[in-house]
């Protein structure tokens, strides 16, 4: 069966599916729900607080009204009980009025929003009580019902064998693969749905580990770098401060790797402010002194320029030459830079993705450093490493990840944990700010800006320019511009061109902008020591690890710094206020939100693992890791080979398998 043969799929709909890389009927079954409308246990109206997206049930209070104006029809009615009522509104759905007879019990699905001290639900969906209905990511030209019908049709015809080894399936009490797909799309109970999610997430974790372990040919043999005793001490003694024990341990591990005859593949993972840049610079120093060439790739042009400025100062004292290569350089600058890289005149090259373009050649690239690894992904790291003859690879990440998850995500790499902050670093003070204290907060922000400090304001969504959602970046930006006409305020978000984003960030970096309103695009990639305030709007919509990353954007200078979480107090947010330990926060975040937060849509270049995002069961990490070790043992070699074939097909050859 082909997609083109399925009823209702014409050229436009097939093109819409193709954009999402849905090209076979099997692909459709892995287009998993992003939510469920669970009408088996609907909430009471009083449980529908601001921001809650859920099913709720209540009585229709009075007769619905139907109004016409501004070119649209609007149905309004209150749904509630003797404790609470919700104001429900439907636009251009006049027929809904007949479905809401006064005094009847109804079950609806929607998001509650607080508007002018009234909880409203806009365009809620009317559901059948007792049924769990899947909700999918929107696809142009294809409605939710049609999508459900297509997936139902495919599942009814699929008859593929279960590839999971029986010993693993039994040991971990896993649901059959086909049944898991069936129940994740069309569950009848929450317990059934949980079992389906668990099975699909488990298999993704297991297959990914097998793909990482078996996809390559192992560590490549290289010419060892001859590093003399005392070089590390020479570099460190030139610093204005002594390294921490954690920094020194990581540098020693890297030094040993560089002297070996197999290529280094090491990740340095540490919290914001732990001093990973010093470690990277030490590695590049040792490489160059041993006669090699080193390259460092950063995720943004601003961060690359900041690293370059620091590198020129740092390495200039040793007579080591540095160069910068970015996409926005002129053609003449590009030509000159490429000549200096190929001739070896630049011993250290720092840049963005421009470093991995086809026409950039290196004289003797022996070490590759990538900053913020999770923003690149394995493919870009591989492209840069291919620029030399099996160069050593060092990746840096400011995203603390629990060790078990690190072994799964980066199983092909050795790990150096930098779990200690340099002395004298002032922790950022974190406070929860409920709505009744917003006025005082913004006055504090104004005061900080007028005293010469700068502020980030991060919003959970972009919104549209005409939108009235008080948590969207557009709305917050407009409000601040109106409230503080004496301040320079800029807006930045992911829909802007890269060039415009860089311009806005550069204005903030240079101190021309007092307040930068943004989505999470500023989570990584800019270091502004003068920024002393981070305001997170709708903080309850962010994960703990993400909030910690945002908090790390401030507190980089000498001034006292603050992070304000705009939300009603919750246990999660109180926990964040109680600690600045990124590894402890990551552990808690994993416990609450699950491993899916570290995969999928959250990370550019990360593997496509849709089922993992559906579950918050952190025990799966330990279990899947254990299953991988069992499967890769000598006694299971034949089964391991079969699973490896499946793993490579899913994570490395999906496109090839489709053609």
Nearest one of 516, 570, 518 to 539, comparing CA atoms: 570
Among the three residues 579, 601, 635, which one is the final residue of a domain in this structure? 579
The reported pLDDT for the residue numbered 658 is: 32
CATH number at residue 116: 2.40.50.140
Could you give the 3-state DSSP secondary structure of residue 33?
coil
Residues 565, 573: contact at Cβ < 8 Å?
Answer: yes
The reported pLDDT for the residue numbered 521 is: 77
The reported pLDDT for the residue numbered 602 is: 39
Let me know if residue 104 belongs to a domain: yes
The per-residue pLDDT for range 629-642, each reduced to its tens digit, is 888 876 777 788 88
The reported pLDDT for the residue numbered 222 is: 86
- Please give the DSSP secondary-structure letter assigned to residue 426: P
The per-residue pLDDT for range 520-556, each reduced to its tens digit, is 877 555 678 899 999 999 999 888 888 998 998 898 8
Residue 77, token pair as written in the block: 């009615």
Let me know if residue 437 belongs to a domain: yes
Q: Do 243 and 381 belong to one domain?
A: yes
Residues 455, 448: contact at Cβ < 8 Å?
Answer: yes
pLDDT confidence tier of residue 485, bands split at 50, 70 and 90: very high
* Chain-centroid distance, C-alpha 212: 20
pLDDT confidence tier of residue 581, bands split at 50, 70 and 90: confident
Let me know if residue 201 belongs to a domain: no
**Mean of the pLDDT values across residues 258-278?**
88
Which residues on neighbouring strands pair with residue 490, listed in sequence order? 516
Q: Do 443 and 527 belong to one domain?
A: yes
Per cent of the chain over pLDDT 70 is 88
**Mean of the pLDDT values across residues 228-257?**
94
| Cβ contacts of 14 within 8 Å, gap of 6 or more | 3, 4
pLDDT confidence tier of residue 617, bands split at 50, 70 and 90: low
The reported pLDDT for the residue numbered 92 is: 93
CATH number at residue 547: 3.40.50.300
The reported pLDDT for the residue numbered 374 is: 44
Integer angstrom CA distances of residue 536 from 9, 115, 461, 531: 43, 20, 11, 14
pLDDT confidence tier of residue 598, bands split at 50, 70 and 90: low
Residue 262 CB burial class (10 angstroms; 0-12, 13-18, ≥19):
middle
C-alpha–C-alpha distance, residues 244 and 246, integer Å: 5
Could you give the 3-state DSSP secondary structure of residue 627?
helix
Q: Do 238 and 117 belong to one domain?
A: no
Q: Which of 242-256, 472-486, 503-517, 598-612 has the lowest mean pLDDT?
A: 598-612
Which one is predicted more confidently, 591 or 612? 591
Residue 96, token pair as written in the block: 């809904």
The per-residue pLDDT for range 285-323, each reduced to its tens digit, is 999 999 999 999 888 888 888 899 999 999 999 999 999
C-alpha–C-alpha distance, residues 585 and 563, integer Å: 16
Among the three residues 127, 142, 158, which one is the final residue of a domain in this structure? 127
Report how many domains make up the chain. 3
Q: Do 365 and 495 belong to one domain?
A: no
The reported pLDDT for the residue numbered 181 is: 93
- Is residue 121 scored above 60 in pLDDT? yes
Which residues on neighbouring strands pair with residue 431, listed in sequence order? 564
Residue 635 CB burial class (10 angstroms; 0-12, 13-18, ≥19):
exposed
The reported pLDDT for the residue numbered 620 is: 80
Q: What is the mean pLDDT of the chain?
A: 86
Q: Do 340 and 385 belong to one domain?
A: yes
Residue 162 CB burial class (10 angstroms; 0-12, 13-18, ≥19):
middle
The reported pLDDT for the residue numbered 561 is: 93
pLDDT confidence tier of residue 586, bands split at 50, 70 and 90: confident
The per-residue pLDDT for range 161-194, each reduced to its tens digit, is 788 888 899 999 999 999 999 999 999 999 999 9
Q: Do 237 and 357 belong to one domain?
A: yes
C-alpha–C-alpha distance, residues 530 and 516, integer Å: 13
Let me know if residue 653 belongs to a domain: no
Which one is predicted more confidently, 358 or 78? 78
Let me know if residue 180 belongs to a domain: no
The reported pLDDT for the residue numbered 607 is: 47
Q: Do 279 and 381 belong to one domain?
A: yes
- Is residue 450 scored above 90 in pLDDT? yes
- Is residue 614 scored above 60 in pLDDT? no
C-alpha–C-alpha distance, residues 3 and 511, integer Å: 54
The DSSP element (H or E) to which 198 belongs, if any, is helix 190-214
Q: Do 370 and 468 belong to one domain?
A: no
Which one is predicted more confidently, 374 or 264? 264
Residue 365, token pair as written in the block: 């690239």
**Mean of the pLDDT values across residues 69-88?**
92
Q: Do 439 and 375 belong to one domain?
A: no
Among the three residues 127, 148, 181, which one is the final residue of a domain in this structure? 127
Per cent of the chain over pLDDT 90 is 50
The per-residue pLDDT for range 246-258, each reduced to its tens digit, is 999 999 999 999 9
- Is residue 106 scored above 60 in pLDDT? yes
Which one is predicted more confidently, 593 or 285? 285
Which one is predicted more confidently, 464 or 232? 232
Let me know if residue 14 belongs to a domain: no
Q: Do 441 and 562 belong to one domain?
A: yes
Residue 574, token pair as written in the block: 């109180």
The per-residue pLDDT for range 404-436, each reduced to its tens digit, is 677 776 666 788 888 887 876 778 999 999 999
Q: Do 433 and 503 belong to one domain?
A: yes
Could you give the 3-state DSSP secondary structure of residue 477?
helix
The per-residue pLDDT for range 51-75, each reduced to its tens digit, is 898 999 999 999 999 999 888 899 9
The reported pLDDT for the residue numbered 300 is: 80
Q: Do 240 and 387 belong to one domain?
A: yes
The reported pLDDT for the residue numbered 603 is: 39
- Is residue 369 scored above 80 in pLDDT? yes
In the structure, how many helices (H) and strands (E) does the chain have? 23, 21
**Mean of the pLDDT values across residues 135-148?**
90
The reported pLDDT for the residue numbered 217 is: 46
State which residues form the domain around 83. Answer: 36-127
**Mean of the pLDDT values across residues 216-243?**
86
C-alpha–C-alpha distance, residues 416 and 425, integer Å: 22
Which one is predicted more confidently, 536 or 506? 536
Let me know if residue 246 belongs to a domain: yes
The per-residue pLDDT for range 147-166, each reduced to its tens digit, is 999 999 999 988 777 888 88
Nearest one of 542, 298, 332 to 340, comparing CA atoms: 332
In three-state form (DSSP H/G/I as H, E/B as E, the rest C), the secondary structure along 519-574 is CHHHCCCCCCCCEEEEEEECHHHCCHHHHHHHHCCCCCCCCCCEEEEECCCCHHHH
The reported pLDDT for the residue numbered 196 is: 94
Nearest one of 390, 445, 389, 398 to 417, comparing CA atoms: 398
C-alpha–C-alpha distance, residues 614 and 599, integer Å: 11
Parallel, antiparallel, or unpaired for β 489-492 and 562-566? Answer: unpaired
Residue 569, token pair as written in the block: 């107090």
Let me know if residue 612 belongs to a domain: no
- The dihedral through the CA atoms of 402, 404, 410, 414 has a sign that is positive
């Amino acid at each position: 069966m082909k997609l083109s043969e399925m009823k209702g799929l014409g050229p436009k709909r097939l093109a819409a599916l193709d954009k999402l890389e849905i090209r076979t009927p099997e692909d459709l079954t892995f287009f998993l729900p992003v939510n469920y409308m669970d009408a088996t246990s609907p909430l009471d109206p009083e449980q529908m607080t601001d921001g809650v997206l859920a099913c709720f049930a209540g009585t229709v209070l009075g007769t619905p009204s139907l109004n016409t104006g501004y070119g649209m029809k609007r149905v309004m009615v209150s749904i509630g009980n003797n404790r609470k009522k919700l104001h429900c509104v439907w636009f251009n759905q006049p027929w809904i009025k007949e479905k809401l007879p006064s005094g009847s019990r109804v079950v609806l699905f929607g998001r509650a929003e607080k508007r002018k001290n009234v909880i409203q639900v806009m365009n809620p969906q009317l559901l059948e009580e007792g049924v769990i209905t899947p909700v999918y990511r929107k696809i142009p030209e294809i409605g939710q019902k049609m999508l459900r019908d297509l997936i139902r049709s495919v599942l009814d015809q699929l008859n593929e064998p279960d590839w999971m080894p029986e010993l693993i399936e039994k040991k971990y009490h896993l649901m059959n693969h086909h049944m898991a797909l069936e129940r994740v799309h069309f569950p009848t109970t929450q317990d059934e749905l949980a079992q389906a999610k668990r099975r699909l997430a488990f298999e993704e974790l297991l297959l990914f580990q097998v793909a990482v372990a078996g996809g390559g040919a192992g560590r490549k043999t290289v010419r060892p770098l001859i590093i003399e005793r005392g070089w590390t001490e020479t570099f460190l003694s030139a610093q204005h401060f002594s390294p921490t024990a954690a920094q020194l341990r990581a540098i020693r591990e890297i030094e040993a790797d560089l002297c070996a005859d197999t290529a280094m593949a090491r990740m340095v993972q540490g919290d914001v402010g732990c001093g990973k840049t010093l470690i990277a610079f030490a590695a590049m120093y040792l490489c160059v002194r041993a006669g090699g060439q080193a390259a460092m790739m950063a995720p943004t042009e601003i961060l690359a320029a900041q690293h370059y400025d620091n590198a020129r100062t740092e390495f200039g004292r040793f007579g080591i030459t540095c160069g910068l290569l970015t996409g926005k350089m002129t053609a003449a600058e590009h030509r000159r830079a490429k000549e200096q890289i190929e001739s070896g005149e630049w011993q250290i090259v720092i840049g963005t993705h421009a470093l991995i373009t086809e026409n950039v050649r290196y004289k003797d690239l022996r070490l590759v450093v990538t900053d913020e690894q999770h923003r690149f992904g394995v493919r870009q790291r591989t492209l840069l490493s291919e620029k030399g003859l099996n160069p050593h690879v060092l990746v840096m990440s400011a995203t603390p990840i629990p060790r078990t998850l690190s072994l799964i995500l980066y199983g092909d790499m050795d790990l150096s944990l930098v779990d200690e902050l340099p002395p004298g670093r002032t922790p950022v003070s974190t406070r929860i700010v409920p709505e009744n204290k917003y006025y005082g907060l913004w006055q504090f922000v104004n005061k900080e800006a007028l005293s010469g400090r700068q502020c980030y304001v991060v919003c959970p969504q972009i919104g549209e320019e005409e939108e009235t959602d008080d948590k969207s970046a557009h709305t917050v930006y407009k409000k601040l511009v109106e409230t503080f006409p004496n301040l320079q305020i800029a807006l930045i978000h992911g829909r802007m061109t890269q060039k415009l984003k860089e311009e806005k960030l550069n204005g903030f970096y240079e101190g021309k902008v007092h307040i930068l309103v943004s989505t999470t695009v500023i989570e990584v990639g800019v270091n502004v020591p003068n920024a002393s305030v981070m305001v997170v709007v709708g903080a309850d919509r962010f994960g703990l690890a993400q909030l910690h990353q945002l908090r790390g954007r401030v507190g980089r200078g000498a001034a006292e710094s603050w992070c304000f979480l705009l939300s009603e107090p919750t246990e999660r947010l109180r926990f964040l206020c109680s600690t600045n330990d990124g590894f402890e926060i990551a552990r808690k975040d994993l416990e609450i939100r699950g491993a899916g937060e570290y995969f999928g849509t959250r990370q550019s270049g990360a593997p496509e693992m849709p089922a993992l995002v559906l579950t918050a069961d952190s025990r799966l990490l330990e279990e899947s890791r254990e299953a991988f070790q069992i499967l890769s043992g000598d006694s299971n070699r034949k089964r391991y080979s079969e699973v490896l074939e499946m793993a490579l097909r899913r994570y490395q050859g999906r496109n090839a398998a489709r053609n």
